[in-house]
Structure formats: C-alpha cells, structure tokens
Structure 1
C-alpha cells in the first residue's frame, strides 16, 4: 500500500519541456557549441550537472560551464517562463490522490528559485506536502538523490511510494531509490522509452491518470 505519490514537475504537471530545451539550445549555440534542439531535448529531465557534461568536455565545463548555465537560467526566466502552462486536471488529480489518503511530494530537477513559481503555475502550491529540487542534493536525476531526499522528508522507504514522471531519467532515478514509477507521455518521450527505463504503467498525461485513477497502480496497490 503506497503511502505517498512523488511527482516530477516539468513535463509531468506543467508543459515546459520544449521551452527548457529552447533555452538550453540557445545557450549552447551562444557559447559556441553545435548542439541541436533535438539533441538537447533528449536530455531534458536531467539537471544542469548531468546535462552539460553530455555536450561539453571537462575543459569546456571549467572554462564556461557555470556561465552558460547561468545564461540559460536567465534566458528561460525572461523569455519562456511566462509561456509555461499547467497540463489539464493537475489540481484535480492531486486532490484525488490526497482524498485516497496518499501523501504528496514533488521531486524536481528545477532550481529552488524556479520551483515555487512552477507550483503556483500548476495550481498545487497548497497540495504538495514535501518538495525537493536540484539545490537540495549533490546530483540531479537520473541519480536517485532527489527521490531519496523526498523519501527522507516523508519519513518512508521507497517501497512505500510511487513516483510519477515523464522521462526515462525519472524512472531510472526512482528505481535506484526503490520506487515504482508511473510514466506519462506529456513530456514527449515515447512509451517504449519509458517502459525500457522501468515504468510500470503509462498514461497520456495527468488528466488520463485522473480519469483512470480507480484502475491505476495507485488505487490498485492500495486494494491489493
């Protein structure tokens, strides 16, 4: 019986993946790296500590990695943050989960100064009992740190939780923390990619999980 549902944020509760990819792509190009939008987009879901080494050498990271990430953050906030919208039925889904007696946490690779804004956009600032972000941990997804920190704040073990995320990196990180994952396709990764990463169930998005809640892993696990 799961005691908690731990949600990813970008691409799971809010429609922001393409916008983050645009900001990262522009940052890469500005700092002289021939990296396409599609290449960057395939890495969204990781924090900067995991994304940047995919494209920059160690010498390049030391030379301008931090400056590039800071530029990316400012670019996202100024140009793309106003365009971020929540997926449909997000507050309804979280309220349904709470009504079932399941505690709620958000475990995001976002920066702390972005997290509160995202929770407001999603309309769930008062619904999440626990939040964790990349600033709380040494390594972002697909390392398990963010999920392990959420478990620690909740005071439970991985077997007591279910994670909900849109990327293979969510599923990999959750599995390392001993958590079963429900995948959603809202972030743009394919069902096959999510299955191979370890997702036990997959839904088109939050609205579909809300509509199918009684037959989902969350409800079925509680009555098994």
Structure 2
C-alpha cells in the first residue's frame, strides 16, 4: 500500500481551471498577445514559468514577462478567486485517505498565497500534512521538482506515493519522480491525454474516487 497521496489543487480538488484560463487570456491580451481562451486553457496545470514561454518569445519575456505574470496574479485574486469552489466530496475524500493511514500532501503550480487560500476554500487545511507551491521549487510542472520536493520532505521513495491530478502535466511530472498517477476528468482534459501522459487509473472526479476508494491505487 502507498504511504502518501499527493494531490494537485486546480482542476483536481477545485473547480478553477476556466477561471485561471480567463485571467491568463486577459493578461495576454492586455500585453498585446492575441491568444484564445482555448489555447490558454490547454496550458493550465503548468506554472507561469512554463506557460508564458508557450506564447511569448525570449525577448518578449525579458521585456514584459514578469509584469504580465504579476498582472495575471492580481487579476485572478481580485476577479476570479472569489468564484472558486471545491468539487463535491473533497473533504470526505481526504478524510478517507487520512483514515486509511496515508500522509496527505498538496503539490501545486500555484503561488504560496494562492495555495493557502485554496485549502481554506476547499475546507481541507486541517487534513493536509504537507503543502507545497511553485515558490518552493526551481521549475513548475511538468518538471518533477515539486514531487521530488514532497518526497524529500516526507522521506519517501517515489514508489511509496500516489499522485492525483487532472492534467497531463501532473502525470508527466509525477512520472519523472517515479510516482504513479491517478487522473481525474473534472479539470477538462480528455481521458486519452491523461492516460498517454501516464495516468494508470482515471475517475470522473473526487466523488467517484471516494466511491471506488477500496478498489483504487490508494488501497493497492
């Protein structure tokens, strides 16, 4: 049996992917980049260090990349963060994981202050043993840094943990750290893309994973 469950937040436990995509699209347009909502949405799950280079050249990044990311962060917090809601059964799922004897960590590409607010919104702050953010590592997903950081903090090997995420970037990052991933569809990515990225099991969302908990990787 695994010793730890490592959860992503955006799109996995919280219904926030579209809201992040809107904030990023607005930021891109404000700084002169004609990027569609669909183009941005397909990149959600990465941190800004990985998302911005998809749309900005090296020179553009040097010129206004930091300003764009800062504007995006402020826009999200003021306009969209109040609209973020958890998916159903999120606290129940984490309590079930905890009761099964697993340590619970969150590994998010969000900034530290956003992670703190997310845990409160989801009602799970008291259920998480270790919380991490993009501020803790050099590179965000799909680089493995954040999962390697969690393993080091928990003093575990990759085979001792299971990751739960909604994006291919979660599975890619976890796989590079030797961690098996459970995928959830509630973030909007197709099951085929999740499995191609390495997800071994795929569920509609947290409630379905809770309902089938005894048959999942979290109990094997």
TM-score by length of 2: 0.99
Task: Show structure 1 runs of 4+ deviating over 3 A.
Answer: none
Question: Deviation per CA, 1:152-179, whole angstroms, max 9, x where unpaired?
Answer: 1111010100000000000000000000
Please give the secondary structure, in 1, of the residue aligned with 2:170: helix
SS of the residue 2:218 aligns to: helix
State the match for 2:172 in structure 1. Answer: 172
| Residue aligning to 2:56 | 56
Number of aligned pairs? 220
Per-residue CA deviations over 1:47-73 (Å, capped at 9, x if unaligned) read: 000000000000000000000000000
Partner of 2:142: 142
* 1:16 equivalent in structure 2: 16
Using structure 1 for the length normalisation, give the TM-score.
0.98
Q: Can you give the 5+ residue segments of structure 1 that lack an aligned partner in the other structure?
A: none
Deviation (angstroms), 1:132: 0.9
RMSD: 0.4
Structure 2, gaps ≥5 residues long: none
Partner of 2:116: 116
1:217 Cα deviation after fit: 1.2
Number of the residue aligned with 1:92: 92
| CA distance in 2 between partners of 1:37 and 1:126 (Å) | 35
Q: Aligned residue for 2:207?
A: 207
After TM superposition, the structure 1 = structure 2 runs for residues 28-107 of structure 1, keeping only pairs within 5 Å, are 28-107=28-107
Q: How far did 1:3 drift?
A: 0.4
Report the Cα distance in structure 2 between the residues aligned to 1:129 and 1:106, rounded to whole angstroms. Answer: 9
Q: Give the whole-Å Cα distance in 2 for the aligned partners of 1:55 and 1:4.
A: 36
Q: How far does residue 117 in structure 1 lie from its aligned partner after superposition?
A: 0.2
C-alpha displacement of 1:218 = 1.1
